[in-house]
């Protein structure tokens, strides 16, 4: 029984350098992979910060464009109101002028004389 245990220990001792070598190889692989992920993570963090900065700039631009759009809409409304008022004034003036010109003048009447001589 002691001899079996001794043989088992000796076998384990013979395998130990190979196990240590495999463990070192696996350690190096994991270290390299970890460094890759660290670099990748760092790169992604920088990229994320850059994107966040761009988003903030775009938000500011969007707010400014919305303000300009609202101002433009208000200006358009005021312009439409002014155009309607101006159009109504033109219509009123034209109507008054047209009404004044539609007077029927009978030849030989006082109205004909008054129109032919506005100073009278």
- The per-residue pLDDT for range 72-97, each reduced to its tens digit, is 999 999 999 999 999 999 998 888 88
- The per-residue pLDDT for range 8-35, each reduced to its tens digit, is 999 989 999 999 999 999 999 999 999 9
Question: What average pLDDT does the structure give for the chain?
Answer: 87
Task: Output the pLDDT for position 97.
Answer: 82
> In 2-118, where does DSSP find H-type helix?
2-101, 110-116
Domain layout of the chain by residue ranges? 2-116
Separation CA 47–CA 38 (nearest Å): 14
pTM confidence score: 0.51
């Amino acid at each position: 029984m002691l001899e079996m245990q001794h043989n088992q220990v000796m076998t384990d001792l013979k395998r130990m350098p190979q196990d240590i070598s495999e463990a070192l190889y696996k350690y190096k692989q994991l270290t390299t992979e970890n460094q890759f992920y660290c670099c990748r993570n760092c790169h992604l963090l920088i990229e994320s910060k850059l994107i966040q900065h761009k988003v903030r700039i775009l938000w500011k631009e969007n707010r400014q464009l919305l303000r300009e759009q609202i101002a433009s809409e208000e200006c358009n409304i005021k312009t439409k109101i002014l155009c309607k008022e101006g159009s109504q004034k033109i219509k009123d003036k034209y109507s008054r002028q047209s009404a004044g010109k539609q007077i029927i003048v009978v030849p030989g009447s006082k109205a004909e004389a008054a129109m032919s001589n506005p100073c009278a």
